[in-house]
Amino acid sequence: MTPENLQSIAFRWFEAFNNKELEKLLSLYDEEAQHFSPKLKIRQPETNGLVVGKDAMRTWWQDAFDRLPTLHYKVTSLTANGDRVFMEYVRQVIDEEDMLVAEVLEVRHGKIISSRVYHG
């Protein structure tokens, strides 16, 4: 994929996430995609931070949207090459301190097959 295609996926990802359009967000992912997050590891220790498949991601993100209605990601940097896009953003929630986040999306055949979150 071209860097422009990868960045387009990232922009659509942010738009869907920030608008809490869960099905639109999930449509960017492969059916068997994997998602890793330190927040997931804390909230659901049995997962060891990893969920696999759209159903598991749907449950995880719906819970986040329900618990944190003001959750918003502010993009600070996108770097795309090969089959990955590296996203840097600020996690913002009213009454919480902003958190710096980096996330890597691995893309194959136009779908995200893996996403991995890193917190600052």
pLDDT in tens, 15-45: 999 999 999 999 999 999 999 999 999 999 9
CATH number for the region 3-119 comes to 3.10.450.50
Domain parsing of the chain, residue ranges: 3-119
Residue 98: which pLDDT band, with cuts at 50, 70 and 90?
very high
Task: Look up residue 113 and give its DSSP letter.
Answer: E
Q: What is the pLDDT of residue 1?
A: 84
Collapse the DSSP code of 64 into the 3-class scheme (helix H, G, I; strand E, B; otherwise coil) and give the result: helix
Q: What is the pLDDT of residues 75-84, one digit of tens each?
A: 999 999 999 9
Does 120 score more than 80 pLDDT? no
What's the DSSP call for residue 68? Answer: -
